[in-house]
Amino acid sequence: MKRLLLYATATVVLMLVSNGVLGAQSTVAPLSTLDLANITAGSCSTCGTGPSQPQPPAPEPRVIASEWRIIRQTNTSPKQLNYSIIGEWRNTNPKSYDVEKRFSDNCRRQLTSGGIGISTSLNISVGTTIHCSESTTLKFTVQPRSTVKLYQANMRYFSEYEAAVVAIWNNGREEVTSRRDYGVEKHDYTLYHPIHNRY
C-alpha cells in the first residue's frame, strides 16, 4: 500500500513539472540595480570601462621667459693701496694687559664697467658705490717690556663678471643663450693688524 502511495505521489510531481507549475514557482527574479550595488559595494570586476579616451597632445616646447644671470666670476688677488699706524701701546709694567678695539672694515663696492646684462644681474648701475661696511673687533695682549703698533691697511681687488641671457621653457628646461655681457666691479676694504715689539 505504501509502495502504491509513493508511486502515485511521484507520478503527480512529474506531471506538475512537465506542465511548468513547479518551474514557474522556482523562477529566480533578477536583482534590481540598487540591490546589486548594495551587495557588491558598487564594484564590478567584469564590467567594461568603455573605450579609453585619447590623451591630449603635449604642448609644443616654447620659451615663456628669459632673464640675465651671472654665469662666470673671477676675482683678482687683493692688493694693498696704502697703510698707516693708527695706535701704539707700550707696557713698562711686569704684568701684561689686554686691548680690545672695534673698527669698521670700510667695505665698498662699485661697478666700474658693464652693460644692461651685468647691471640687471647684480642689481647695481655702473658708477654707483654700494656701502657694505661691517664692524670688526680686534683683541690683542701687550706683554711686559713690549710695544704694540696697530696698522691699518687699505685693500682693493676686482671681480670680473660674465652674464648671459637664460631662456626658460614651458617644460621647465633652462638654456643659456649666446647673448652675453661683461663687466668689472671694484671692491675696497680695510684690514687692521697689530705688530708686537719687545725692548
In-domain check, residue 41: no
Residues 188, 194: Cα–Cα separation, whole Å: 20
Beta-bridge partners for 139 = 100
In-domain check, residue 6: no
Residues 133, 78: Cα–Cα separation, whole Å: 17
Q: What's the N-to-C CA distance of the chain in angstroms? A: 150
Q: What angle do CA 159, 164, 166 make, to 5 degrees?
A: 135
Domain holding 74: CATH number?
Answer: 2.170.15
In-domain check, residue 168: yes
Residues 192, 190: Cα–Cα separation, whole Å: 7
Q: In which element (H, E) is residue 17 found? A: helix 2-18
Beta-bridge partners for 186 = 110, 158
Provide the pLDDT for residue 28: 53
Domain limits for position 81: 63-198
Provide the pLDDT for residue 29: 57
Provide the pLDDT for residue 8: 46
Provide the pLDDT for residue 17: 44
Provide the pLDDT for residue 33: 59
Provide the pLDDT for residue 38: 58
Residues 87, 97: Cα–Cα separation, whole Å: 16
* Cell numbers that stand for 79 in this block: 692688493
Provide the pLDDT for residue 57: 81
Q: In which element (H, E) is residue 38 found? A: helix 33-40
In-domain check, residue 14: no
In-domain check, residue 87: yes
Q: For the chain, 199 residues long, give each residue's pLDDT as a single digit of tens.
A: 444 444 444 454 445 445 554 444 445 555 565 555 555 555 555 555 556 677 888 788 899 999 999 999 999 999 999 999 999 999 999 999 999 999 999 999 999 999 999 999 999 999 999 999 999 999 999 999 999 999 999 999 999 999 999 999 999 999 999 999 999 999 999 999 999 999 8
In-domain check, residue 33: no
Provide the pLDDT for residue 36: 52
User: Domain count of the chain?
Assistant: 1
Provide the pLDDT for residue 2: 44
Provide the pLDDT for residue 5: 44
In-domain check, residue 21: no
In-domain check, residue 27: no
Distance of CA 53 to the CA centre of its chain: 37
* pTM exceeds cut of 0.85: no
Residues 104, 189: Cα–Cα separation, whole Å: 9
Residues 193, 151: Cα–Cα separation, whole Å: 5
